[in-house]
Structure 1
């Protein structure tokens, strides 16, 4: 079974009564931290549990040390997944408003903990669900204790020290999921330093999505990332962004295109710039 899977609104609607189905609502907004919880309370796909980016899908921020969304403590996340009813053989569906950045973060975390099959992202997110004229629910998610067990795969992530030692290696492909103006250092609306990690290429995660808000076909995604890899081994690819969230969208898109899973620099730009000895580049 492919590592990255998409599910359409119609397909999900037909599976809502499946006892193996667990749905996670991953809606979030950086500019309104209560947006996700509030939106969930106003209506969600029937049976969905709410997974908050900062409370559930991230760890504790240490100012001046970590990035804005460090990885969660593994056992705490395993416990949370069990609270949501996740078993090792569950069919997990993840969604946000679209284009899937927060859902992709949850997808990557599940892969990191060893759940590599039975996990799908709702293609187009809740916007596509609405466009299909499918209903929302106000009912609370069913309570059932799951039995999921997982251990983090440390081969899927890289820290700042490891990345700094790798930057000059010719086999490295380093991609930045932020938009081109932030990559170039022309604007920086969030972090105190503008620019990008030296040697990185801009690979804006929004370019994984078509005009309809859904992921591009696999052949188009493959062409996109072939150009970034330029013949280098995809296993040596490292993805980052501002805080380790939208980078997961690129890793999901790479997997959709048939590539093996690259590494996530979870600390990303917001962690990298905490160390004044780390290089900073601007422009292309």
Structure 2
């Protein structure tokens, strides 16, 4: 199943028993906004509570470390998602935030029938997709049968070795000003991981907020990767969330999903490891 679905394709599915819609908007007002209006029958998932583990110290795992597989399996059961479910997830940032993270996590536990809504909530509303208000109460299912994360991740130690040996291409998907160290609105220190190259996740999108065509994305990432395989690529962002947007873009392009550095800049920048500034 392709990783993206358009609003028109979603509308064309019609009501089916196996379809599960997930609203993954994030931020302090996310649940309030969800209750005010969401796609009909969409169930809400919370980035901080459902898609990340509690943070004791961001220097050990970053601001959004992965929860245990068992914890996520229980979240999936609460949402009514089982092995037979067809899942479509959206957010209000063109899939650039928690929708892509949810896609990565569900794919990583072995679920294949999961797609991100291309263009996000705005595209669905523009297409006339029906909406509801208030909470949704899906029938809970048993915890999803998942044993491990099946997509590749790397630790901070592995990233550090890559900066020293050149064994991997490290892609930083944050906006250019954060990469260059000109601003840092979220984390404590500005800059980037030495040797990392900057390919902002926003460059995966067309002007209307939809993903670029697969062939354009394939050309872009093939040029960046050169002779490297996806297994020799590490992708990170600020806290392991928007990095999933680029992983989704690469899957949309027909490329194998590279390594995710979950801790990302929020972990690296809180340690004593080197920090680069500018374009170096």
Q: TM-score, normalised by structure 2?
A: 0.94
Secondary structure, counterpart of 2:39 in structure 1: coil
Secondary structure, counterpart of 2:132 in structure 1: coil
Structure 1 runs, 4 residues or longer, greater than 3 Å off = none
**1:14 aligned partner:** 12
**1:66 alignment partner, one of 61, 71, 76:** 61
The whole-number CA distance in structure 2 between the counterparts of 1:230 and 1:279 is: 26
Query: Displacement, 1:192?
Result: 1.0
Secondary structure, counterpart of 1:163 in structure 2: helix
Unaligned ranges ≥5, structure 2: none
Query: Displacement, 1:138?
Result: 1.7
Residue 100 of structure 2 corresponds to residue 104 of structure 1:
yes
**1:41 aligned partner:** 35
Residue 253 of structure 2 corresponds to residue 257 of structure 1:
yes
Residue 17 of structure 2 corresponds to residue 23 of structure 1:
no
Query: Displacement, 1:141?
Result: 2.6
Q: C-alpha deviations, 1:68-109, integer Å up to 9, x for none? A: 111112211100101111111210000001321220000111
Residue 142 of structure 2 corresponds to residue 144 of structure 1:
no
**Kept in 2: contact 1:24–1:94 (CA 8 A):** yes
**1:283 aligned partner:** 278
**2:210 aligned partner:** 214
**1:237 alignment partner, one of 226, 233, 242:** 233
Query: Displacement, 1:198?
Result: 0.7
**Kept in 1: contact 2:69–2:149 (CA 8 A):** no
Report the count of equivalent residues.
Answer: 276
**1:85 aligned partner:** 80
Query: Displacement, 1:7?
Result: 1.1
Q: TM-score, normalised by structure 1?
A: 0.93
**Kept in 2: contact 1:7–1:122 (CA 8 A):** yes
Secondary structure, counterpart of 1:19 in structure 2: coil
Query: Displacement, 1:142?
Result: 4.3
**2:118 alignment partner, one of 99, 123, 135:** 123
Unaligned ranges ≥5, structure 1: none
Question: For the aligned residues, what is the CA RMSD?
Answer: 1.5
The whole-number CA distance in structure 2 between the counterparts of 1:74 and 1:211 is: 36
Query: Displacement, 1:46?
Result: 1.1
Query: Displacement, 1:154?
Result: 5.9
**1:175 alignment partner, one of 171, 176, 198:** 171
